[in-house]
C-alpha cells in the first residue's frame, strides 16, 4: 500500500486511493464541491487542487491517485490562492442570497425568515422561541422598534413589506396574555459569573445570552426596577409596563438575579465587581466622560472607550455597550450590543482569545428587477398586508399565519450547511460580479422540490445520481461555455427528469440549487 506525506504528515492508504482519500484519513480538510463518495471523480469545481512535489502544476485531489513516496502540500499560500480563485469564479456567477435582506438589516441579527416560516406552519411556540433568542425582548420591540427589517423587505416593492414587527410582537403579547411565556433553554452551569451594570435593553440582552450559556448573572441597576430607558424613558401608552415586566420575568426565570437601587461607583466599586465576578459588562445608559471616568473606565465625549469589534474596554475583564459607548437611542441596537458583548465575555470565561464575532460569507443579489420579483411572488400569498384586529397591538393566531404567508422567503434553504458558503468563508473568498449578473429564476413544477438555476455551479453530481438511479430522462447540461446550464433533456419539466432520484439529488446539491419545497 502506498505511503504518502500531506503537509508533512505521513499516511498509508489502499492502492487506488486518491489524495483526497488520504487527506481525509489524516483529518485534513481539503475543500471540494463536486465529490460523491463511491463514484468516479467529476473534477468540475477545481476547488480541491493541491501541490504535488515534482509537478509544475496543481492537481485535483479528488482524482489524483496516491503514489508511494508522494509529497503533497494542501495549505501553502499558492494552493490556497488557487482554491480561492476557483471559488470566486463560481461566486461571480452565483445568483442567490445566503441571508434574507430582512435578517441582514436587523441590528440584532434575528433569524426572521425562520420565525416567519414557523408562524406560517402554525408552530407558534417555536416561532416565539426563535424571536426571543434573536431579539430577547420581542414583545417590547414589537411596540417600539423602528423596524429596519421591514424597510429592507423585498415584498415592499410589490405592495407592502411583511409586518415583521407585528408578528414577533403579537407572538410575545399572546404568550403574556395566556401566561405561557417560557425562557430559552439553558446549558449546564459553568460555575462562572458575570456582573452586568444596567438593566436596560443591552444589559438584559447580555444577561439572557450569558445565562443561556450556563453562566450566572447578577444585574445591578440604580433604579427601583429593571428596564432602564424602556421603563423610565417611555410612557405607558407606548410601552405597557405589564408587557415589559413579563419579558423581564422571562430573563429572571432563566436565572438572572437583579440588584436594584445599587449605584456602581458609589454603593459598589468597579474594582469590587472585578474581584467578585469573572467579567463585568457595563451598560448603564448614556454617560458623560466625567461619569464614566468616575466609574473607573476610560471615556471620550462619545462614551466609554471600547474595542468596537469585541466590546472590551482597556480594563481587563470589563466590557461595555449600549448608549454608554455611543448614544443611539435604538433599543434593538442596544440588544445587538448586549448579545455581541456576551459572546466575547463567554470567550473570556472559557479561557479563549476574545475575538470579533465570525462573519460568514454572504452572497447578495441586490435589488431585483420586475421579472425576478415576480419569481419570488409566485411562491407567496397574493394578498396585501393583514391588519391587527381591533384593540390588538400585534398579529396572532390565524392573522399571523396569513401575514407570514406573504413572505417571499429570500433566504437560502441551505444557508447553514451550503458548501460553497462554508468554503468561501474559510478561505476569505469575495464575490465580484460581472457588470450584468445572471437573472434569478425559480422552477417549482416538481411535486416535492424546487430548482433555482442561478445557484447551480454545474458540478454534475445530480446528473450522475439521476443516471445511476435509472431515470428515464434524468438531467444534462445544455448550451456551451458560459451559457451552459443544467436542464432536463428535450426541455421537459423537472418532474419528468427527476421521478426517482429527487431526494438524493437534493441531499447531494452543494448550494441548494435543488431543495425541498418543505424547507421553504
pLDDT at 298 over 70: yes
Q: How confident is the model at residue 131 (pLDDT cuts 50, 70, 90)?
A: very high
Residue 281 sits in a domain whose CATH number is 3.50.50.60
What is the distance between the alpha carbons of residues 365 and 451, in angstroms, rounded to a whole number?
17
Phi, psi of 134 (to 5 degrees): -85, -40
pLDDT confidence of 519, banded at 50, 70, 90? low
* Residue 434: per-residue pLDDT: 83
Do 344 and 202 fall into the same domain? yes
Q: What backbone phi and psi angles, to 5 degrees, belong to 237?
A: -65, -35
In a domain, 448, yes or no: yes
Give the burial class of 259: count Cβ atoms within 10 A of its Cβ; 0-12 exposed, 13-18 middle, 19 or more buried.
Answer: middle
pLDDT tens digits, 425-472:
999 999 998 888 889 999 988 999 999 999 999 999 999 999 999 999
315 shares a domain with 269: yes
Beta-sheet pairing, 49-52 with 71-73:
antiparallel
DSSP 266: T
Q: What whole-number distance in Å separates Cα of residue 333 and Cα of residue 315?
A: 24
Q: What mean pLDDT, rounded, does the chain reach? A: 94
Query: How large is the average pLDDT for residues 490-500?
Result: 95
CA angle 49, 20, 28 (to 5 degrees): 95
Residues 128 and 166 in one domain: yes
Q: What letter would DSSP give residue 404? A: H
Beta strand extents in 65-158 (DSSP E only): 71-73
Give the residue, 71 or 358, on which the prediction is more confident. 71
Q: Please check whether residue 85 lies inside any domain of the structure.
A: yes
Distance, in Å, from the CA atom of 75 to the CA atom of 81, rounded to the nearest integer, reads 10
Regarding whether 279 and 207 lie in a shared domain, the answer is yes
Q: Which of residues 36, 70, 91 is at a domain's end?
A: 91
Question: Is 188 inside a domain boundary?
Answer: no
Does residue 339 sit in the same domain as residue 202? yes
Q: What is the pLDDT of residues 201-220, one digit of tens each?
A: 999 999 999 999 999 999 99
Last residue of one domain, picked from the residues 320, 349, 378: 349
Asked if residue 433 belongs to a domain, the reply is no
Q: Which pLDDT score is estimated for 461? A: 97
As a whole number, mean pLDDT of residues 75-80 equals 95
Give per-residue pLDDT as tens, 368-401. 988 999 999 998 999 999 988 776 789 989 999 9
Q: How far apart are alpha carbons 138 and 111 in whole angstroms?
A: 12
Q: Is residue 113 part of a domain?
A: yes
Cell reading at 478: 445544455
Same domain flag for 245 and 381: no
The domain in which residue 485 lies consists of 438-519
Task: List CB contacts of 231: < 8 A, sequence separation 6 or more.
Answer: 223, 225, 241, 244
- Whether residues 331 and 246 share a domain: the answer is yes
Mean pLDDT of 311-340: 94
pLDDT tens-digit map of 313-325: 999 999 999 999 9
| Shared domain check, 199 and 160 | no
Average pLDDT over residues 46-56: 95
Q: How many domains, the chain?
A: 4
What pLDDT score was predicted for residue 389?
78
Residue 289 has pLDDT above 90, yes or no: no
316 lies in the same domain as 463: no
Do both 512 and 398 map to the same domain? no
In this structure, is residue 225 part of a structural domain? Answer: yes
Question: In the listed set 349, 373, 392, which residue is the last one of a domain according to the structure?
Answer: 349
445: Cβ contacts below 8 Å, ≥ 6 apart = 493, 494, 495
> Could you tell me if 239 and 344 lie in one domain?
yes
Kindly calculate the radius of gyration of the chain based on its CA atoms and give it in whole angstroms: 27
Average pLDDT for residues 349-367, to the nearest whole number? 92
Q: How large is the average pLDDT for residues 224-247?
A: 95
Q: Give CA–CA dist 165/139, Å, rounded.
A: 9
CATH of the domain at 60: 3.10.20.740
Written in H, E and C, the secondary structure of 216-247 is EEEEEECCCCCCCHHHHCCCCCCCCHHHHHHH
How many other CB atoms are found less than 10 A from the CB of residue 77? 8
Q: Would you say residue 86 lies in a domain?
A: yes
Claim to verify: residue 232 and residue 316 sit in the same structural domain = yes
Asked if residue 389 lies in contact with residue 395, where contact means CB atoms within 8 angstroms, the answer is no
Domain containing residue 501: CATH number = 3.30.70.20
Task: Specify if 409 maps to a domain.
Answer: no
What is the DSSP pairing of strand 58-60 with strand 49-52?
antiparallel
Amino acid at each position: 500500500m502506498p505511503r504518502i506525506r500531506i503537509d508533512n504528515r505521513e499516511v498509508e492508504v489502499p492502492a487506488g486511493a486518491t489524495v483526497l482519500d488520504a487527506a481525509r484519513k489524516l483529518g485534513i480538510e481539503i475543500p471540494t464541491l463536486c465529490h460523491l463518495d463511491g463514484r468516479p471523480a467529476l473534477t468540475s469545481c477545481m476547488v480541491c487542487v493541491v501541490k504535488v512535489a515534482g509537478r509544475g502544476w496543481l492537481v485535483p485531489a479528488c482524482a489524483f491517485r496516491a503514489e508511494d513516496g508522494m509529497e503533497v502540500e494542501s495549505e501553502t499560500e499558492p494552493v490556497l490562492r488557487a482554491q480561492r480563485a476557483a471559488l470566486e469564479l463560481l461566486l461571480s456567477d452565483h445568483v442567490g442570497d445566503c441571508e434574507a435582506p430582512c435578517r441582514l438589516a436587523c441590528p440584532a441579527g434575528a433569524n426572521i425568515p425562520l420565525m416567519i416560516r414557523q408562524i406560517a406552519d402554525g408552530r407558534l411556540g417555536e416561532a416565539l422561541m426563535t424571536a426571543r433568542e434573536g431579539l430577547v425582548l420581542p414583545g417590547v420591540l414589537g411596540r417600539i422598534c423602528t423596524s429596519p427589517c421591514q424597510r429592507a423587505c423585498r415584498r415592499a416593492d410589490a405592495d407592502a413589506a411583511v409586518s415583521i414587527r407585528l408578528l414577533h410582537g403579537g407572538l410575545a403579547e399572546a404568550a403574556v396574555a395566556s401566561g405561557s411565556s417560557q425562557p430559552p433553554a439553558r446549558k449546564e452551569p459553568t460555575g462562572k459569573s458575570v456582573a452586568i451594570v444596567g438593566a436596560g435593553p443591552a444589559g438584559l440582552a447580555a444577561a439572557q445570552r450569558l445565562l443561556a450559556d450556563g453562566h450566572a448573572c447578577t444585574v445591578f441597576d440604580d433604579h427601583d426596577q429593571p428596564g432602564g430607558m424602556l421603563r423610565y424613558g417611555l410612557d405607558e401608552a407606548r410601552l405597557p409596563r405589564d408587557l415589559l415586566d413579563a419579558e423581564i420575568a422571562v430573563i429572571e426565570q432563566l436565572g438572572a438575579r437583579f440588584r436594584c437601587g445599587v449605584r456602581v461607583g458609589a454603593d459598589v466599586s468597579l474594582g469590587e465587581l472585578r474581584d467578585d465576578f469573572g467579567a463585568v459588562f457595563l451598560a448603564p445608559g448614556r454617560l458623560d466622560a466625567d461619569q464614566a471616568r468616575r466609574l473607573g473606565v476610560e471615556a471620550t465625549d462619545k462614551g466609554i472607550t471600547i474595542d468596537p469589534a469585541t466590546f472590551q474596554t482597556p480594563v481587563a475583564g470589563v466590557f461595555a455597550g449600549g448608549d454608554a459607548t455611543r448614544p443611539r437611542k435604538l433599543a434593538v441596537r442596544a440588544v445587538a450590543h448586549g448579545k455581541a458583548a456576551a459572546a466575547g465575555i463567554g470567550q473570556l470565561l472559557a479561557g479563549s482569545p476574545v475575538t470579533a464575532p465570525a462573519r460568514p460569507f454572504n452572497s447578495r443579489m441586490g435589488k431585483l428587477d420586475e421579472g425576478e420579483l415576480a419569481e419570488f411572488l409566485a411562491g407567496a400569498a397574493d394578498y396585501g398586508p393583514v391588519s391587527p384586529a381591533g384593540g390588538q397591538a400585534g398579529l396572532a393566531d390565524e392573522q399571523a399565519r396569513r401575514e407570514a404567508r406573504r413572505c417571499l422567503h429570500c433566504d437560502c434553504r441551505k444557508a447553514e450547511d451550503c458548501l460553497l458558503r462554508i468554503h468561501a468563508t474559510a478561505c476569505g473568498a469575495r464575490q465580484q460580479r460581472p457588470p450584468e449578473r445572471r437573472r434569478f429564476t425559480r422552477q417549482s413544477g416538481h411535486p416535492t422540490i424546487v430548482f433555482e438555476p442561478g445557484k447551480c455551479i454545474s458540478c454534475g453530481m445530480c446528473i450522475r445520481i439521476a443516471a445511476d438511479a435509472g431515470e428515464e430522462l434524468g438531467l444534462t447540461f445544455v448550451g456551451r461555455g458560459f451559457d451552459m446550464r443544467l436542464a432536463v433533456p428535450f426541455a421537459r419539466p423537472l418532474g419528468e427528469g427527476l421521478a426517482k432520484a429527487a431526494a438524493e439529488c437534493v441531499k447531494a446539491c452543494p448550494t441548494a440549487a435543488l431543495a425541498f419545497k418543505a424547507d421553504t
